[in-house]
């Protein structure tokens, strides 16, 4: 028995014969967390832009579902849209990879995506707001009030009771208010984080923070999400964006659990007519079932936009967009691919983006290995 048939090496392929510094196509065509490229279909980008812009410009809640077959770009579209709004200072953005077993899981993933540091910063931002209104100090942001507390210029013992009272008035959820404030205490911030992420904590840990209820079901999770959004609006934020991917997975739930999840999201939308924008990615067949069986939920979604399979023109644009950043010879277009070769890729992939990228990546490496000068129709026929 021998391993002579293997040829494993860390030597990189040389793509210079095509005027490229690397293979620009992904070997595993799954969306990056922060996609740098997006070749959108105009009707889809227009609908998404309108939904996001409306919420940003008016503050009124608006929601959208993006439907497409597997591999046609739902996740990429959601993640690219998220990247466009995530760096804005006036909104908070969270990504939920899939809805899980119910709204409690959606809430958990959303808060977890924000992260411990972001929630703690929000707590300090609120203390800064309270300090400006109740003390002679004028902290402008979270880091300033944290420094004042560390220096003893502002005493937590004086600030916290007023902060809890004001935050309770804002959120209408006393336990949530106490959990947020406890994010600034070293002794209890991990307990507070666990409670806020709906992970569950022991009674003794809740008692230490004077929190009376457990955040352990869909109803209290909807209440906590609304409380968080109200906190953000009170701090001056425009609103919250929630990206829920793979929404079609709710079809795997029992009928009772599916209806409970959709009802919880509907209640969330009903309780938040301002400051909330939810974008869902969903397979079209599941969305059709939701529309036909759960009118109360689907009617809350302002619009559905469908990503269609790519056309020849779309594929040419997709390939040229991916290749452009890797070019070293100043040329453009789809070279080294020929128009005919891309037509064959289109036929074989049926316009599926994931398959197009996978084939392009594979045949480009094969062309380098065989020292081809171009990737024509005959070569594509041989390789796929």
> What pLDDT does 305 receive?
96
> What pLDDT does 349 receive?
93
| DSSP state string for 261-289 | HHHHHHHHHHH-SBSEEEEEEE-HHHHHH
| DSSP state string for 182-245 | GGG-TTTHHHHHHHHTT----HHHHHHTT--S---SHHHHHHHHHHHHHHHHHTT--EEEEEE-
Q: At what angle do helices 116-134 and 103-114 cross, to 10 degrees?
A: 80
**Span 310-383: which CATH code?**
1.10.8
Which pLDDT band, with edges at 50, 70 and 90, does 7 fall under? confident
Contact yes or no for 119/193 (Cβ under 8 A):
yes
Does the pLDDT value for residue 132 go beyond 80? yes
Backbone angles phi, psi at 323, to 5 degrees: -75, -35
By three-state DSSP, how is residue 99 classified?
coil
Tens digits of per-residue pLDDT, 235-254?
Answer: 999 999 999 999 999 999 99
- Residue 175 has, within 13 A of its CA and on its CB side, a CA count of 19
Scanning the structure block, which residue is given the tokens 């040419």?
Answer: 316
Nearest-angstrom CA–CA distance, 260 and 250: 11
> What pLDDT does 3 receive?
60
> What pLDDT does 302 receive?
77
Q: Which CATH class is domain 40-50+57-308?
A: alpha beta
Residue % of the chain over a pLDDT of 70: 99
Residue % of the chain over a pLDDT of 90: 87
By three-state DSSP, how is residue 306 classified?
strand
Q: Looking at residues 277-300, what average pLDDT do you find?
A: 94
Three-state secondary structure of 203-220: HHHHHHCCCCCCCCCHHH
Tens digits of per-residue pLDDT, 164-189?
Answer: 999 999 999 999 999 999 999 999 99
Q: Looking at residues 34-41, what average pLDDT do you find?
A: 83
Does the pLDDT value for residue 1 go beyond 60? no
Bridge partners, 65 (sequence order): 280, 304
pTM: 0.90
Query: Which DSSP state fits 64?
Result: E
Q: Looking at residues 11-31, what average pLDDT do you find?
A: 91
Mean of per-residue pLDDT scores for the chain: 94
Is residue 207 exposed (0-12), middle (13-18) or buried (19+ Cβ within 10 Å)?
A: exposed
> What pLDDT does 272 receive?
97
CA angle 251, 252, 258 (to 5 degrees): 60
By three-state DSSP, how is residue 94 classified?
strand
By three-state DSSP, how is residue 95 classified?
strand
Is residue 85 exposed (0-12), middle (13-18) or buried (19+ Cβ within 10 Å)?
A: middle
User: β-strand 276-282 against 239-244: which pairing, if any?
Assistant: parallel
Scanning the structure block, which residue is given the tokens 């008016």?
Answer: 58
| DSSP state string for 112-137 | HHH-HHHHHHHHHHHHHHHHHHHSS-
Domain boundaries, the chain: 40-50+57-308, 310-383
Nearest-angstrom CA–CA distance, 225 and 268: 8
C-beta neighbour count of 135 within 10 angstroms: 17
Tens digits of per-residue pLDDT, 338-377?
Answer: 999 999 999 999 999 999 999 999 999 999 999 998 999 9
By three-state DSSP, how is residue 20 classified?
strand
> What pLDDT does 363 receive?
96
Scanning the structure block, which residue is given the tokens 């070769």?
Answer: 341
């Amino acid at each position: 028995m021998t391993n002579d048939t293997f040829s494993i090496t860390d030597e990189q392929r040389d793509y210079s014969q095509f005027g490229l510094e690397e293979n620009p196509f992904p070997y595993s065509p799954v969306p990056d967390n922060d996609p740098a490229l997006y070749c959108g279909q105009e009707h889809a980008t227009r609908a998404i832009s309108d939904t996001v812009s409306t919420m940003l410009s008016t503050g009124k809640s608006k929601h959208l579902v993006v439907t497409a077959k597997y591999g046609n770009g739902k996740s990429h579209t959601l993640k690219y849209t998220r990247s466009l709004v995530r760096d804005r200072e006036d909104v908070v953005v969270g990504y939920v990879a899939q809805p899980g077993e119910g709204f409690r899981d959606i809430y958990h993933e959303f808060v977890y995506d924000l992260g411990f540091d972001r929630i703690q910063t929000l707590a300090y931002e609120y203390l800064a707001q309270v300090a400006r209104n109740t003390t002679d100090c004028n902290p402008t942001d979270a880091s300033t009030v944290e420094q004042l507390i560390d220096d003893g210029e502002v005493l937590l013992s004086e600030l916290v009771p007023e902060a809890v009272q004001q935050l309770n008035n804002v959120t209408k959820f006393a336990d949530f208010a106490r959990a947020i404030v406890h994010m600034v205490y070293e002794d209890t911030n991990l307990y507070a984080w666990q409670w806020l992420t709906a992970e569950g904590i022991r009674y003794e840990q809740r008692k230490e923070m004077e929190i009376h209820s457990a955040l352990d079901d869909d109803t209290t999770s909807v209440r906590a999400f609304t409380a968080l959004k109200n906190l953000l609006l009170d701090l001056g934020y425009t609103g919250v964006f929630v990206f829920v991917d793979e929404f079609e997975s709710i079809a795997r739930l029992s009928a009772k659990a599916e209806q409970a999840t959709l009802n919880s999201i509907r209640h969330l939308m009903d309780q938040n007519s301002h400051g909330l924008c939810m974008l869902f990615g969903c397979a079209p067949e599941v969305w059709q079932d939701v529309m036909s069986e759960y009118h109360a939920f689907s009617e809350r979604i302002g619009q559905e936009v469908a990503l269609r399979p790519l056309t020849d023109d779309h594929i040419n644009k997709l390939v040229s967009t991916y290749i452009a950043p890797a070019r070293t010879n100043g040329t453009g277009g789809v070279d080294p691919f020929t128009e005919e070769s891309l037509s064959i890729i289109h036929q074989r992939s049926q316009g599926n983006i994931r398959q197009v990228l996978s084939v392009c990546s594979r045949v480009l490496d094969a062309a380098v290995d065989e020292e081809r000068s171009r990737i024509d129709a005959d070569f594509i026929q041989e390789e796929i």
